[in-house]
Amino acid sequence: MDSINNQPVDSANEGILVCGLGALGQACLSSLMAFNLPIRCLDRKSPKWTDLALGRALAEVTFIGDMRNPESLLEAGVATARAVLLLSQDSGVNLEAALQVRLLNPKAQLVVRSSKGSSGLENQLQARLPGLVIVDPQLLTAGVFANAL
């Protein structure tokens, strides 16, 4: 049983993939480490870790690539992720990546950062893509992202 949803854990889908390792991504990672689940990370460039210990702990599971690129997502482990956080500052990139993630892993829970409020497209996607949550970090804290999983 997982401690988040009190449901049986599917061993093929137990990891969490965090895409976008800026300040928000790193804050989410710090919160997620407490759950003791496998974590993998993806960013376009090597992150500038604000917590060097966190960076060292995740060094071997941090991948460089574009979260919209299927090859980068697959290398980072999207196929076996139970949840994917898409935390780029660019809402359009996050939405593109959400569609790609859904194609590669239809069962993963998606948490998508949006900083423009709820647009019509975001509302449509949230209504049509199961397991998708769109959040505005200006209204929420990093802990809420972790709890959304």
Greater confidence (24 vs 119) lies with 24
- Range with the lowest mean pLDDT among 13-22, 54-63, 65-74, 96-105? 13-22
**How many helices and strands in the chain, by DSSP H and E?**
6, 6
Confidence of residue 10 (pLDDT cuts 50, 70, 90): very low
Domain locations in the chain?
15-148
> Which amino acid type is present at position 89?
Q
Beta strands per DSSP E along 38-127: 39-43, 62-64, 81-86, 109-113
Residue 65, token pair as written in the block: 């690539």
3-state SS assignment for residue 41: strand
Q: Which residues contact 43 (CB under 8 A, 6 or more apart)?
A: 19, 20, 21, 25, 62, 63, 64
Global confidence as pTM:
0.76
Mean pLDDT along residues 13-20: 89
Q: What is the pLDDT of residues 73-111, one digit of tens each?
A: 999 999 999 999 999 999 889 989 999 999 999 999 999
> Which amino acid type is present at position 69?
N
Confidence of residue 131 (pLDDT cuts 50, 70, 90): low
Q: Does residue 117 have a pLDDT over 70?
A: no
User: Quick one: DSSP state of residue 36?
Assistant: T
Mean pLDDT along residues 36-51: 95
DSSP string covering 114-148, please?
-SS---HHHHHHHHHSTTEEEE-TTTS-HHHHHHH
Share of the chain above pLDDT 90, in %: 58
- The structural architecture, per CATH, of the domain 15-148 is 3-Layer(aba) Sandwich (3.40)
Q: Which residues contact 4 (CB under 8 A, 6 or more apart)?
A: 35, 147, 149
